[in-house]
Copies of this chain bind each other. A is one copy, B any other.
Amino acid sequence: MDILTTPPEVRVWVSERRRRAQRIGLVPTMGCLHAGHLSLVRLARQRAEAVVLSLFVNPIQFGPGDNLTGYPRDLQGDQRLCREAGVAALFLPSAEAMYPAGHSTFVEEVWFSRGLCGDRRPGHFKGVTTIVAKLFNLVQPDVAVFGQKDAQQARVIQQMTRDLEFPVEIVLGQTVREADGLAMSSRNKLLNAAERRQALCLSRALDTAARRLAAGERETAALIAAMRQEISGAPLARVDYAEIVDNETFEPVASINRTALALLAVHVGSTRLIDNALLTPQGHGD
């Protein structure tokens, strides 16, 4: 596995792979890798001969309250996991390499970035689209894989890719969960034992909504109330948002008549977790 740390190194590496007519896959991450990331690497390897995993805790997607310095890091573990997973190159740039002095260009998606995490974390998605655009231009991947766990981010990146005509196929990997249902996240490492137990309230709330829908409840006000009720049973948890939106437009819906998406952001102790699940009404095949 090659370790690349600067944009020029990436360019040389990429042009060599291109010369050999290899398809390139990209898995952008912020490191502290877990089974969810590894499932994305597998998806990339199914579609490309050479997979680049980028590991960069992108400062411009963190706001003042977002605890950039507290973001979990495990570089040694990450390198080992990447080797085992068959990653061809690990791209580990410094913040200075990605944002040299005078950096003054940003990419912004303005529709799917509204609401949900976009409202709670101003500038977050602008930071995401900017770094992803830079990675796309550096790595020039045929395919890039993102996790459905970050559902809004995935939708924003799909839209950016389409709008800016990036010649990149976007593939989304399903959320990977712990045995008890907790969505895998690097942030889970920040939870203490009590918080870890109560973090289950997110996946339980999503299950509750799905069960209530299956039982015939299509009104999202009732489904959201049921999710909030479930979360209120966890004293260490505090809802940031609990919403149900149309899965295509990402606009809130009053009643579920086609596939919708339930999204949660919940503070558990001092750690903010997100999770989501598709809600498909019975007899609706989409």
Contacts and interface: CB of A to CB of B under 8 A. Distances in A.
A134 B104 contact: no
A59 to B, nearest CB: 15
Interface residues of A, number: 27
A177 to B, nearest CB: 31
Nearest to A7: B165
Contacts of A134: 163-165
A129 interface: yes
Chain A interface mostly helix, strand, loop or mixed?
A: mixed
Contacts of A165: 7, 134, 137-138
A268 interface: no
Interface string A83-120: 00000000000000000001111111111100000000
A11 B167 contact: yes
Interface of A: 7, 11, 102-112, 129-130, 133-134, 137-138, 140, 159-160, 163-167
11 contacts: A104-B109, A104-B112, A105-B129, A105-B160, A106-B107, A106-B110, A107-B107, A107-B164, A133-B164, A134-B165, A137-B167
